[in-house]
Homo-oligomer: A and B are copies of this chain.
């Protein structure tokens, strides 16, 4: 093995720690971390056994001893650090949404391209082996022409007024919350699997919990306690969408962070002329195939199925792979790209910008209650 990549991770909350672990498992040396203050950086460096604690994300972005920067901060901070890192000639792995506006996302995408640097965005659901199997079946036309796309992404971690998080604030998370946070995953996955692009949509956003705790932001996925002081919420809990693709296929999508009992249920069903395929992230080891004469449950299996399913299925069938394994595979493929190796389906800054173009169309449509075109925001 050649010289390991040198990585720095900015943001050391839950997801930052996942990046540290995945970077190491992919063979990188994690040379430093930055948290929200120099003190917190020191604490994180110590607990993660990382040599250097940066005073700020910008310091990390400019450290000449770093090859790749992982950005795991609240969304509103992505732009500045990613821009600085690219300007400093570093590859970037940036959490999604890539930015809080399509404009910023395109700036970053164009900058990475001009600098010939790799920029990736962890749309990690692409790395579930059975998602790859679904894609192989659509791309090889086993499903036949698609007649209907259905999807939902449901969670319950914000189902009570006492549940809050920086994502609830427009200033920290951006104007869209539920859709940008999890709807973006669903749309990315559907476009990638089907090879079709959404061209227009009508969206309705809703905020049934109009007031939430005014307490300082809480840790994601932690249940809330008593609520005393509240403030108005300006980001959506729920989004309902109807979309059309460039091939005319109709799609119906539902996004919610207030659906009791749904922990992290990304679900889709693609109904084709010959077969349907259905995937449920809460049972990620299987893929449901519907045909008129019966249903088949395919299980992840390194000795069966499509090439990409096999590539990502490193455990024998029945030995569950998990979310962490997807994350690792994404980081491994990101690093492979940095080394010049290409693997199918790596989500790049271009995909991150694409995602923002859908987020902005959702916001526009929600404001006007009209069908709206999805535009890529380019001026040419």
Q: Which residues of B contact A319 (CB under 8 A)?
A: 264, 322-323
Residues from 211 to 261 in A contacting B, C-beta threshold 8 Å: 220-223, 237-238, 240-242, 249-252, 254, 256, 258-261
A84→B89 CA distance, assembly (Å): 53
Residues from 301 to 342 in A contacting B, C-beta threshold 8 Å: 301-304, 315-325
Q: Does A119 lie at the interface of the complex (its beta carbon under 8 Å from any beta carbon of B)?
A: no
Q: Does A136 lie at the interface of the complex (its beta carbon under 8 Å from any beta carbon of B)?
A: no
A220→B269 CA distance, assembly (Å): 25
A133 to chain B, nearest CB (A): 10
Q: Are A321 and B322 in contact (CB under 8 A)?
A: yes
Q: Does A138 lie at the interface of the complex (its beta carbon under 8 Å from any beta carbon of B)?
A: no
Residue count of chain A within 8 Å CB distance of chain B: 87
Q: Are A263 and B317 in contact (CB under 8 A)?
A: yes
Q: Does A171 lie at the interface of the complex (its beta carbon under 8 Å from any beta carbon of B)?
A: no
A98 to chain B, nearest CB (A): 21
Interface majority SS (helix, strand, loop, mixed), chain A:
loop
Q: Are B295 and A296 in contact (CB under 8 A)?
A: yes
Q: Which residues of B contact A304 (CB under 8 A)?
A: 292-294
Q: Are A276 and B262 in contact (CB under 8 A)?
A: yes
Q: Are B206 and A250 in contact (CB under 8 A)?
A: yes
Q: Are B294 and A145 in contact (CB under 8 A)?
A: no
Q: Are B292 and A156 in contact (CB under 8 A)?
A: yes
A46 to chain B, nearest CB (A): 9
Closest Cβ neighbor of A300 among chain B residues: B263
Q: Are B281 and A318 in contact (CB under 8 A)?
A: yes
Known: A240-B242, A322-B322. A291 touches B261 (CB 8 A): yes
Q: Which residues of B contact A249 (CB under 8 A)?
A: 208
Q: Are A276 and B259 in contact (CB under 8 A)?
A: yes
Most buried by B among A147, A260, A269: A260
Q: Does A107 lie at the interface of the complex (its beta carbon under 8 Å from any beta carbon of B)?
A: no
Q: Which 7 A-B pairs have the closest CB atoms?
A: A261-B290, A264-B318, A263-B318, A322-B322, A221-B316, A263-B317, A319-B323
18 A-B pairs (CB sep. < 8 Å): A154-B271, A156-B290, A157-B316, A202-B202, A202-B204, A202-B369, A204-B250, A206-B250, A240-B250, A259-B271, A259-B290, A260-B271, A260-B275, A261-B289, A261-B292, A292-B304, A315-B322, A320-B323
